[in-house]
Amino acid sequence: MKKIFNYTILILFAFLASCSSSDDGSTIDNGNGDGNENPNPNPASQSYWPFALGNQWNLVNPDNSEDIFNYHIYKTINYDGKNYFQFEPIGSIQEVELTDGFREENGIFKALHGATSNMGVNTTAGIITYINTKLNVGETWTDEVILEISGAASGHIKHTNQGKILDKVASVTINGKTYQDVIKTELRKTVFNSITGNSFEIIYENWLAKGVGIIYEKNIYPGNDIEEYGLINHVLN
């Protein structure tokens, strides 16, 4: 099963919960625009990962056909005048309010780490680049964001993203289906907690097909724990 949520819990106990009450001024919004009453500025046919409400990508573990993972965009959150799309959490037993989100700006994908308040510990919000499709093969990008911690604890969480374009190919076949115009990216994310002095790294490899979205992913977690998923079907609105 997909382990990213185990590391979300790890970050939660590092005072960076993605599910909490938020006081950052963000508002839930079910629109598909840019937050300024404009339509989606990234047409699906031109995007390597089209974001719109209701879009869904269903992926399967190549070693276990019963292990299915879904990326389902179910709502948006508005932060600093811009809409960020939110993937529906899985494995949750209760209704949660997400403060994180994702958006595309002309081929550059941004992640919002929303402000949180949990057990008397508050964290500030921040934005970081996680995919840059505008670069050539072999080119890299680096971005970082520091989220300040206050309240019952004092310190910060530092996210550092180091990305690279691994390849750009005309076509790739995944689970018997061929996808055109594919870009392969790698992201090395390091998360450092100044309170505990601990850090960990996760390596994400994503293959994105233009006009489709994610078709393959390989994630390497601490302890060299590896998982892979390939697209079986998707729905775009």
Kindly state the average pLDDT of the residues 47-72: 96
Please tell me the total count of domains within the chain: 1
Q: What is the pLDDT of residue 3?
A: 55
Percent of the chain scoring above 70 in pLDDT: 79
Query: CB neighbours (10 Å) of residue 222?
Result: 11
Do residues 13 and 109 touch, judged by C-beta distance below 8 A?
Answer: no
Tokens of 24: 């950052």
Looking at residue 98, its pLDDT comes to 85
Residue 189 has pLDDT above 80, yes or no: yes
Q: How far is CA 153 from the centre of its chain?
A: 27
Residue-level pLDDT at 28:
37
Question: Which residue range forms the structural domain that includes residue 226?
Answer: 4-235
Query: pTM for the full model?
Result: 0.83
H/E stretch holding 69 reads: strand 64-79
Can you say how many angstroms the Cα of residue 221 is from the centroid of all Cα atoms in its chain?
15
Res 14 pLDDT > 50: no
What mean pLDDT is reported for the chain?
85
CATH number of residue 89's parent domain: 2.40.360
CA gap 189, 113 in Å, rounded: 14
Asked whether the predicted pLDDT for residue 2 surpasses 80, the reply is: no
pLDDT tens-digit map of 128-178: 999 999 999 999 999 999 999 999 999 999 999 999 999 999 999 999 999
- How far is the C-alpha of 179 from the C-alpha of 83, rounded, in Å? 29
The rounded distance, in Å, linking the Cα atoms of 113 and 149 is 13
Instruction: State which amino acid sits at residue 196.
Output: T
* pLDDT at residue 186, rounded to an integer: 98
